[in-house]
Chains A and B, each alone.
Chain A
């Protein structure tokens, strides 16, 4: 399926370029093969969603929103992650357009992990992405003070840590509150279930 870049929305272009940028960054190469130590690099879904959230709060995406969603890490603890379902939808759209490939693997902890990479058609489209979109992505990953490439760090476990660090100065160090849901005010009253007598038999 041949797709033109104009068919993609600006947010989809930004998302595609972000994935490409992260893959090149992780593989440490400008090569489109994204090969590191002889292995092809994929980007995991959860870190990608954390990056999308970071981009949303920095104002990069125009149409994306986010909401806390319960996600089980390693088949164990369940955290509320600020996931953008518009982002998830666009990832699926890019996959349907044969721009992204998706892989789902079982982990050593008997959970599942989903990851993405860009198809050759996606690579072709990347060359047509407008410069302003590219700049938007690049600006976000560079320290404003020392112009060093920021390091995205995500450690999931008992105490998950998700942050963006500058290896040279601490000017751009940011904790990404991907796991903290925004407070909303609500009024409630206890609801006593009416069928408790049936449940205690």
Chain B
């Protein structure tokens, strides 16, 4: 099989059929159709590896499976078993017409000129010329191109109208989104993106088709009068159909643009609603926080009073009640000397006060520590992108307290994240160090230092860690 690939977008597969099933003359159309079925598939396979991704993509959009794209068939025979003198009799609606239809499509037309017979259908042609001249070859190829583009543009337009139908489906989703269905909003955005991408491919195909049509018309050599092939008219019609499709595609894009704007507005509205709700939530959270603070302060007060009472209770429980005839107040007012019991009571009273104060101070410190712990840690992040020795880093970290190791694989890279617990290393004053590195490229990508000391000297801390890496020969 010979293959001719034109820059105008058509491909001609051609062969000289010498014999079928050992017979080299008067091949039956039934046998011929089996050979054509075989060749149709073989020709797709022959060219498959030469197709670019763009070509494969648009063939898929227009014809589905690229292996089963339709083709135009031209059969040139040297002779025919003439069944009828008048060629119109081949259109008998019976066996003859049906046999020919199965190769070149239903509703074919038949022409004769001198002793030549031409059957012209929408899927191809069967030519039995007196002489297969170069001129006839040229015209028959042009006829094939014309029918081929017609099949292509039929399917192309079907896809365009199908896309138009899909915009109706999108409108339904838009309506649902307007009613507040957020799932529909997400889906419609996705659908619009897919549809836009398909239209964009069809738009590009249309441009190529337009160029090819114009070029074919310009190139067409009008040297003979095979008028019945209707090549010029056919090409003009195709050109007009392609031009018509421009309008449809433009209309489709405008409609889609409108729907996209509508959806964007809806998304913005939803965002605004969400912002409003978030603001309200923040406000009520602040109010709750303030109420909590007030409650906490009240609890603090109660806690202090309770602490005092408990101390007094403990002292009273340990020592018991000390009674005296005179109250301390009376003794002071009447300037009487304090007796032994009164002195003991005073000592116990002051001791209780001191114990209370100590307890209060202790509680305050504990509370402050707890609050400090509860505060969000301060995180220092630095993107580094420096070459490291992965083996040395792994060896170094083996002896450290690693609380998390995460490995991510993608097509070319192995990203490793270590979280190193440094809370026990006092000189660092850091809670954790997060190290992100690329094992494939041996790059240290970033460092993340976590501390609860808000007054930490960030630069110094980073310098310290980097210094540590240098000392251990991790940094190259």
Mark A residues whose CB is within 8 Å of B: 65, 67-70, 72-80, 83, 85-86, 88-89, 92, 108-111, 158, 181-196, 198-201
Number of interface residues of B (CB under 8 A): 57
Q: List 29 A-B contacts (CB under 8 A).
A: A65-B30, A67-B29, A70-B70, A77-B63, A77-B64, A78-B40, A92-B93, A108-B165, A109-B162, A110-B157, A110-B158, A110-B161, A111-B158, A158-B64, A158-B65, A181-B37, A186-B35, A189-B15, A190-B15, A190-B16, A192-B2, A192-B14, A193-B4, A193-B14, A195-B134, A195-B141, A198-B221, A200-B6, A201-B219
Q: Does B85 contact A (CB under 8 A)?
A: no
Name B123's contact: one of A70, A76, A185, A198 (CB within 8 Å).
Answer: A70
Q: A110 touching B69 by the CB < 8 A rule?
A: no
Name the 7 nearest CB pairs between A and B, nearest first.
A80-B37, A68-B37, A77-B68, A110-B158, A78-B70, A190-B2, A181-B37
- Report the bound CA distance from A183 to B38 in whole Å: 8
Q: Quick one: which of A89, A110, A192 contacts B94, CB cutoff 8 A?
A: A89
Flag if A196 contacts B98 (CB, 8 Å).
no
A contact residues around B12 at 8 Å (CB): 193
A191 pairs with B16, CB closer than 8 A: yes
Which of A74, A77, A88 has the largest number of chain B CB atoms within 10 A? A77
Q: A80-B40, A85-B98, A181-B37 are in contact. Are A190 and B1 (CB under 8 A)?
A: yes
Residues of chain A with a CB closer than 8 A to B2's CB: 190-193
The digit string for B77-114, where 1 denotes a CB below 8 A from any CB of A, is 00000000000000001110011011100000000000
| Nearest chain B residue, comparing its CB with the CB of A79 | B68
B455 at the interface (CB under 8 A from A): no
**Chain A residues whose CB sits within 8 angstroms of the CB of B4 once the complex forms:** 193, 196, 199
Complex: A192 Cα to B154 Cα, angstroms: 30
Tell me if B340 counts as interface (CB < 8 A to partner A). Answer: no
Q: Which residue of A lies closest to B35 (CB)?
A: A186
Encode B58-70 as 1/0 by CB contact (under 8 A) with A. 0000111100111
Q: Which residue of B lies closest to A200 (CB)?
A: B6
Q: Nearest CB to that of A194 among chain B residues?
A: B134
B131 contacts the other chain (CB 8 A): no
**Residues of chain B within 8 A of A88, CB atoms compared:** 98
Q: Are B98 and A89 in contact (CB under 8 A)?
A: yes
| Chain-A contact segment, one of B18-26, B279-287, B380-388, B397-405 | B18-26
B37 and A76 form a contact (CB under 8 A): no
Contact A194 B137 (CB under 8 A): yes
Residues of B within 8 A of A74 (CB): 64
Q: Considering the chains assembled together, what is the distance between the CA atoms of A181 and B41 in angstroms? A: 11
Distance between B3 CB and nearest chain A CB, rounded to angstroms: 9
Given contacts A72-B155, A183-B34, A189-B18, 12 further A-B contacts (CB under 8 A): A67-B29, A68-B34, A74-B64, A75-B155, A76-B64, A110-B157, A184-B31, A186-B17, A187-B24, A188-B1, A188-B17, A193-B14
Give chain B's interface residues, CB within 8 Å of chain A: 1-2, 4, 6-7, 12, 14-22, 24, 29-31, 33-38, 40-41, 62-65, 68-71, 93-95, 98-99, 101-103, 123, 134, 137-138, 141, 154-155, 157-158, 161-162, 165, 219, 221
Least distance between B248 CB and chain A CB atoms (Å): 12
> Which residues on B sit within 8 Å (CB–CB) of A191?
2, 14-16
Contact of B101 among A76, A85, A190, A198 (CB under 8 A): A85
> Cα distance A105–B378 when bound, in Å?
70
Question: Once the chains are docked, how many angstroms separate the CA of A76 from the CA of B19?
Answer: 32
In the complex, chain A residues whose CB is within 8 Å of the CB of B63: 76-78
Q: Which residues of B contact A89 (CB under 8 A)?
A: 94-95, 98
Residues of A within 8 A of B154 (CB): 75
- Please indicate the chain A residues that have their CB under 8 angstroms from the CB of B65 in the complex: 76-77, 158
Q: How far in angstroms is the closest Cβ of chain A from B225?
A: 17
Q: Which residue of A lies closest to B19 (CB)?
A: A187
> In angstroms, how far is the closest chain B Cβ from the Cβ of A161?
14
Contacts of A189 in B (CB 8 A): 15-16, 18
In the complex, the chain B residue whose C-beta lies closest to that of A73 is: B64
Q: Using Cβ atoms and an 8 Å threshold, which residues of chain A touch B7?
A: 200
Query: Chain B residues near A186 (CB, 8 Å)?
Result: 17-21, 35
Min distance, Cβ B123 to any Cβ of chain A, angstroms: 6
Q: Is the CB of B14 within 8 A of A190?
A: yes
Contact A78 B33 (CB under 8 A): no
User: Is the CB–CB distance between B141 and A85 below 8 Å?
Assistant: no
CA distance A83 to B105 in the complex (A): 13
| B165, closest chain A residue (CB) | A108
A198 to B4 Cα, complex, angstroms = 12
Which chain A positions have C-beta within 8 A of B31? 184
In the complex, A183→B20 CA distance in Å?
A: 11
By a CB distance below 8 angstroms, the chain B residues around A188 are 1, 15-18
Task: Check B14 against A185 for contact (C-beta < 8 Å).
Answer: no
Q: How far is the CA of A108 from the CA of B169 in the complex (A)?
A: 13
Which single residue of chain B is at the shortest CB-CB distance from A195? B138
Is A199 a contact partner of B95 (Cβ separation < 8 A)? no
Residues of B within 8 A of A67 (CB): 29-30, 33-34, 102
Contact of B99 among A70, A85, A111, A181 (CB under 8 A): A85
Q: Chain B residues with Cβ under 8 A from A80's Cβ? A: 37, 40-41
User: For B137, what are the chain A residues with a Cβ–Cβ distance below 8 Å?
Assistant: 193-195
CB-nearest residue of chain B relative to A74?
A: B64
Chain A, Cβ-Cβ closest to B38: A181
Closest CB in chain A relative to B121 CB, distance in Å? 11
Residues of B within 8 A of A184 (CB): 20-21, 31, 34-35, 38
Residues of B contacting A68 in the complex (Cβ-Cβ under 8 angstroms): 33-34, 36-37
* Residues of chain B with a CB closer than 8 A to A196's CB: 4
A72 to chain B, nearest CB (A): 6
Chain A residue at smallest Cβ distance from B95: A89
Which A residues touch B14, using CB under 8 A? 190-193
